[in-house]
């Protein structure tokens, strides 16, 4: 099972998507609970424009491992491309709750804010008890605010 996932990762390097998809699907046929294989399958599907399938794979990855920050983040990317901004914001927040140091998720959340309704809308989601906010390392400007707010959730 792990070997099929490793083979798929090697195949992806030259962007041979079909072979990578087949390898990940084979790994999942052997063990449907492999969060990493679901995530990697979703990544290839996202790269090839199969957004709904990618989202389904990311959701299967997070169902298998709810603490899989990368899968939450990539689900947010798929949701943004699908125009489902509210859900994307939730996915980015989940990724940052799990791993507040995820700089890319910070930036993705910051990019979603103008579409979603801006910083004021995000601030409305923060509990009154989260007044002591600490920023995550490596986040700057608006991303630091997003990291801090997501970490406080």
- At 50-85, the pLDDT tens digits run 999 999 999 999 999 999 999 999 999 999 999 998
* Residue carrying the six token digits 């990019």: 111
Helix (H) or strand (E) holding 32: none
Mean pLDDT is lowest, of 1-10, 38-47, 112-121, for 1-10
Which comes out higher in pLDDT, residue 129 or 116? Answer: 116
Q: How far apart are CA 64 and CA 37, in angstroms?
A: 11
User: Does residue 140 contact residue 101 with C-beta atoms inside 8 Å?
Assistant: no
We find that the CATH architecture of domain 1-66 is Alpha Horseshoe (1.25)
Name the token pair of 111: 């990019």
Using DSSP, state whether 47 is helix, strand or coil: helix
% of the chain with per-residue pLDDT over 70: 64
Name the token pair of 119: 């910083």
Residues 6+ apart with CB under 8 A from 146: 96, 106, 109, 110, 113, 122, 139
Q: How far apart are CA 11 and CA 131, in angstroms?
A: 47
Does the structure show a pLDDT above 70 at 139?
no
Residues of the chain with CATH 1.25.40.10: 1-66
Q: How far apart are CA 79 and CA 54, in angstroms?
A: 10
- Region 92-106: mean pLDDT is 85
pLDDT tens figures, 12-43: 454 588 888 989 999 999 999 999 999 999 99
- pLDDT at position 11: 47
Does the structure show a pLDDT above 50 at 141?
no
């Amino acid at each position: 099972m792990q070997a099929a996932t490793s083979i798929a990762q090697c195949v992806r390097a030259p962007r041979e998507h079909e072979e990578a998809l087949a390898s990940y699907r084979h790994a999942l046929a052997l063990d449907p609970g492999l969060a990493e294989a679901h995530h990697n399958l979703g990544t290839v599907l996202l790269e090839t424009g199969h957004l709904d399938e990618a989202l389904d794979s990311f959701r299967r990855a997070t169902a298998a491992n709810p603490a899989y920050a990368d899968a939450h983040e990539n689900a947010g990317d798929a949701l943004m491309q699908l125009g489902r901004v509210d859900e994307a914001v939730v996915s980015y927040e989940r990724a940052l709750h799990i791993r507040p140091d995820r700089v890319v998720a910070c930036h993705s959340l910051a990019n979603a804010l103008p579409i979603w309704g801006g910083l004021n809308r995000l601030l409305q989601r923060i509990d009154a008890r989260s007044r002591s906010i600490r920023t995550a390392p490596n986040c700057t400007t608006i991303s630091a605010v997003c990291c801090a707010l997501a970490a406080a959730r």
